[in-house]
Structure 1
């Protein structure tokens, strides 16, 4: 069941905005988050700016570091 603070992500731009907002709420700058994740500042900047080509594995590292859970909601199956 979705929580009240759930964000529906349909594109890289929305995911980037969520990551930026969460990072700032936690008082982290890009350099600090980069160190915590083991990723480059450039990658994080591109991710926050909605670049589509960011690798999924690295995105998951950022989400994990920030404590963001990724929840997928498949469409409900219809029974014939």
Structure 2
């Protein structure tokens, strides 16, 4: 399985799948997704309040997402990714 988050390539399987020269990070947890969201928000120069308003979610939701809460609503999380200009794609890969 491969996951691409806005140009960063995330691989679920061993390095044998990493055939192109890209930044590779294994992404398994909501904490890591939250860290990517926080990094993007800060790169855009937004506060949590501003980013939450831009994305149409509450400040509490955004804070919990950035902290890696594992039970956040997937629809809202995808809404935040889109609102911050991040793309998430998942591909099944052969073994």
- Matched positions, count: 76
- Structure with the largest fraction of helix: 1
**CA contact 2:55–2:84 (8 Å) conserved in 1:** no
- Structure with the largest fraction of strand: 2
Instruction: Give the TM-score normalised by the residue count of structure 1.
Output: 0.84
Instruction: Return the structure number with greater relative CO, CA threshold 8 A, min gap 6.
Output: 2
- Following the alignment from structure 1 to structure 2, what is the Cα–Cα distance between the partners of residues 48 and 11? 12
- Following the alignment from structure 1 to structure 2, what is the Cα–Cα distance between the partners of residues 6 and 33? 27
Change (3 A) 1:65 1:7: farther
List structure 1 runs of 4+ shifted beyond 6 angstroms: none
